[in-house]
């Protein structure tokens, strides 16, 4: 589904990703682990299409299509979803209004009919209940005054609502206590599906106790330096990033 080859990306003229290779098939969950500054967030932003993240070399192919050539909204409509590390506040726009606008924008882009307010409301309420997203949160302005946990739950609610084909979770565990982490992980696991690929980006092994990946990649210095099964996470936890990076070199 996703094929990244020799990807070089620079931000503000500084090269962050330096020849990254990664391949994810439908139905798989891959994890990217790496120390701070290794390029994890850059990878997530370049996949979602954020302005200022320039692809200098290499390719990102998504379902046979050149992903880098598409604007972010077109990627979203084609099933790419990024659960962000720092969800953004939009004052005056209720969460419900945002969800409806975004869902219908995606549907329109795919040539599907738009859902009416009641249709969206029903779907959202059903999915929100499972993630413990309250009715009150849906009425409040998007992410405004939300706690860290509420923001992350809302990201997963959006993932559940948009039903993406490729879901990227950028440090979804950051800022969560253990109960919130379990809830979010359950939400993510419920979305595991043979037709869906997931890329879980995390600094800590902890999240991978709950979302068990098929494959782990270690990102350091803008490249994948080590790969393995889920047991690699434990090894990382035991040895630390420095040792793994040295071993790989």
Give CA–CA dist 69/60, Å, rounded.
Answer: 9
The answer to whether residues 150 and 163 touch, using CB atoms and an 8 Å cutoff, is no
- Provide the minimum distance between the beta carbon of 41 and other proteins in the complex, in angstroms, as a whole number: 12
Q: Which stretch binds other proteins (CB under 8 A): 17-25, 28-36, 75-83, 199-207?
A: 75-83
- Provide the minimum distance between the beta carbon of 77 and other proteins in the complex, in angstroms, as a whole number: 6
**SS3 of 219, please?**
strand
Q: Which stretch binds other proteins (CB under 8 A): 6-14, 103-111, 120-128, 191-199?
A: 103-111
- Provide the minimum distance between the beta carbon of 2 and other proteins in the complex, in angstroms, as a whole number: 16
**SS3 of 43, please?**
helix
Out of 24, 31, 32, 75, the only residue in the binding site for other proteins (CB under 8 A) is: 75
DSSP 211: S
The CA dihedral of 67, 39, 86, 174, to the nearest 10 degrees, is 130
CA 37 to chain centre: 18
Binding of other proteins at residue 76 (CB under 8 A)?
A: yes
Helix (H) or strand (E) holding 182: helix 178-190
Pattern 160-189, binding to other proteins, x per CB under 8 A? --x---------------------------
First to last CA, the chain: 29
**CB-wise, 16 or 47, nearer to other proteins?**
47
Site for other proteins in 111-150 (CB under 8 A): 114, 141
Binding of other proteins at residue 23 (CB under 8 A)?
A: no
By CB under 8 A, how many residues form the interface with other proteins?
A: 35
CA distances from residue 31 to 51, 168, 187 in whole angstroms, order as listed? 24, 10, 17
What are 20's strand-pairing partners?
7
Pattern 27-66, binding to other proteins, x per CB under 8 A? ---------------------xxxxx--------------
Binding of other proteins at residue 88 (CB under 8 A)?
A: yes
Binding of other proteins at residue 93 (CB under 8 A)?
A: yes
CA Rg value for the chain: 18
Give CA–CA dist 246/225, Å, rounded.
Answer: 9
Binding of other proteins at residue 102 (CB under 8 A)?
A: yes
**Binding residues vs other proteins (CB under 8 A):** 48-52, 71-73, 75-77, 82, 84, 86-93, 97-98, 101-106, 108-109, 114, 141, 158, 162
């Amino acid at each position: 589904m996703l094929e990244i080859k020799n990807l070089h990306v620079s931000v503000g003229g500084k090269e962050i990703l330096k020849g990254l290779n990664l391949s994810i098939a439908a139905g798989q969950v891959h994890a990217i682990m790496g120390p701070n500054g290794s390029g994890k967030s850059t990878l997530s932003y370049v996949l979602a299409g954020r302005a200022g993240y320039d692809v200098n070399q290499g390719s990102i192919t998504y379902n046979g299509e050149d992903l880098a050539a598409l604007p972010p909204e077109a990627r979203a409509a084609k099933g790419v979803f990024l659960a962000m590390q720092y969800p953004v506040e939009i004052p005056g726009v209720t969460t419900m209004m945002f969800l409806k606008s975004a869902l219908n924008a995606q549907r329109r882009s795919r040539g599907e009919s738009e859902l009416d307010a009641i249709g969206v409301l029903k779907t959202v309420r059903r999915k929100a209940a499972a993630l413990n997203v309250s009715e009150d949160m849906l009425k409040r302005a998007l992410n405004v005054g939300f706690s860290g946990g509420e923001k992350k739950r809302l990201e997963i609610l959006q993932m559940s609502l948009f039903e993406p084909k490729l879901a990227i979770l950028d440090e979804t565990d950051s800022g969560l206590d253990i109960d919130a982490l379990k809830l979010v992980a359950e939400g993510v696991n419920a979305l595991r599906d043979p037709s869906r690929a997931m890329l879980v980006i995390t600094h800590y092994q902890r999240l991978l106790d709950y979302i068990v990946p098929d494959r782990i990649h270690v990102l350091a210095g803008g490249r994948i330096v080590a790969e393995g099964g889920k047991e690699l996470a434990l090894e990382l936890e035991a040895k630390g990033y420095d040792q793994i990076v040295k071993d790989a070199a």
